[in-house]
Amino acid sequence: MEFTSKFNELKSLFSLSREVNYIENSNIEIRTQHFTSKTSLSFPFEDEFDSYDPEQAVVLGDESIKENESFSYPVFIPRSDLKSNKAIILLHGLNEKSWHKYLPWAYYLAESTNRPVILFPISFHMNRCPETWANPRAMMPLLNQRQNQNILTQCTFANVALSERLSEEPLRFFRSGRQSAEDIIDLLESIKKGEFPFLEPNTHVDFFAYSIGAFLSQILFIANPKNLLNDSKLFLFCGGALFSQMEGTSKLIMDSKAFSCLRKYYLGDFANELKTSTPFSTFIKNSPIGNAFRAMLAPESLRKFRNNTFQTLNERIKIIALKKDQVIPAKFIQSTFSCMKHRVKDMLEVFDFPYDYSHEIPFPVLNNPNYKQVDRCFESVFSSAANFLR
């Protein structure tokens, strides 16, 4: 598959408003599925306090954002008269608002493995957030206001909505992550029950996870809710490090103030509150997802619990990191899995591409002859992923 041409083709035809997107001269079709989240963003011991105000879309009470509650998502499906008994869930990165980047990723995996690939959106990402958050005109007042604060850098149209939300309430990072995890658990249970027309009951599900999607998937695999992931494989791309070892400040992710607020809260206030006996700390410590999240915060946080879990994954995990990744550096991914000793060399590969790339844009779409280099590097990553997940 030629990445660049396939990206342009899929981008031009893709729409979630259609039940089926047909791809010319291909045995892959894109079907739109619908999902309603059953997970409350509030914790069992608290009441939501904000009310809906459409002019305060970035900071309103999150329960009022209906796009996050009921939404559609795409599934790449190889055409067949038979239902599949294997599927892949693809998890995306932080602050993503469009599926375009991931369309060729899903296409390649579906075509190469002959398995449906489910692109499931994280809470308040993709089409699970108001369209205004991705609209430069709508974000201009907030951007101007935020840029007037001299203490921050890397504030842009692309990240101002997320930056404002996380600066205002850092706990949103955990709230939305918890909701995403619970939604994926519901999705897995629906698949197990045979509620998808193209999947057999008890279909085997593996994961391809990128960036913050890798972080979320690691939490899910550590928690292993209801033993749903006992036999699942996990392929990580540009992900795998602990929270404390990530660098989230980026024009495409969040500004410096937002990331500083996150670090201060989760490596300080959050950790300190867990040492006390409060309704919140009790909830976190009694929750499998809560404990798994704690284990992924810092090296010293529930180290034995985390390491024991990773060691049980053994042959079920493979990772590709990028040498010039500044957001989730390869050396920290390696240190996260150092408990697996000699296995690290087999499970983790570090690639370096011969063109300008970044964590956020590993495969730039180029209009010059260098696109062939990008196509080859895309092939090297995704052929490895497909071989592992096949």
CATH classification at residue 181: 3.40.50.1820
**Domain containing 290: what range?**
3-389
Q: How high is the pLDDT of residue 344? A: 85
Q: How high is the pLDDT of residue 53? A: 41
Q: How high is the pLDDT of residue 43? A: 76
Q: How high is the pLDDT of residue 42? A: 77
pTM for the complete prediction? 0.94
Q: How high is the pLDDT of residue 60? A: 53
Give the separation between CA 227 and CA 218, rounded to whole angstroms. Answer: 14
Q: How high is the pLDDT of residue 45? A: 60
Q: How high is the pLDDT of residue 154? A: 95
Domain count, the chain: 1
Residue ranges in the chain modelled with pLDDT below 50: 47-59
